[in-house]
Amino acid sequence: MDNRDYVFVDSCVLLDIFNADELWGEWSSTTLHELSGKYQLVINIVVFTEIAFNFESSIKLKNTLDLLDIEILDIPLDAAFNVSRTFKKYRKNKGDKKSPMPDFYIGEHAIALGIPLVTRDTARFKTYQSKLRLISPEKTNH
């Protein structure tokens, strides 16, 4: 499948759905449903880890992702390498974290694949990964 046929799903969107978030659950559910009709939804192991606490086992989580037709992709080495560059920008801007944040891995993975990221948490992505195409509540034209 061509990468243009993929959309990367951020953890927050899945957590909105799994936790029936009162504010964002409907947007996240509707958006994923619409996108799944046109694109293959994908995540990586970082997203898998961030959403895992909602499940009793990795098998149950994997089965749920299979039902949602969400594919888990390996993080390419170039994307992992570029996380260090993004983190360097973050630290230069006086960021106080001591290691790269999950958003950096998610964003760099989507950038490496040349695909959009569906998220509602846009601030860090816009600041540190401005090349990333976002599908978000304030920008829902996909």
Q: CA-to-CA distance for 64 and 81, rounded, in angstroms?
A: 30
The domain ranges of the chain are 3-135
pLDDT digits (tens, 9 = 90+) for 43-83: 999 999 999 999 999 999 999 999 999 999 999 999 999 99
Is pTM, for the whole model, over 0.85? yes
Give tens-digit pLDDT for 103-125. Answer: 999 999 999 999 999 999 898 89
* pLDDT computed for residue 35 by the predictor: 97
CA distance linking residue 94 with residue 97, whole number of Å: 9
Interval 20-49: pLDDT, tens:
999 999 999 999 999 999 999 999 999 999
C-alpha 74: how far from chain center: 13
Within 8 A by CB and 6+ apart from 69, the residues are: 36, 40, 41
Alpha helix segments (H runs only) across 19-101 = 25-36, 45-51, 58-67, 77-92
What is the topology classification, in CATH, of domain 3-135?
Rossmann fold (3.40.50)
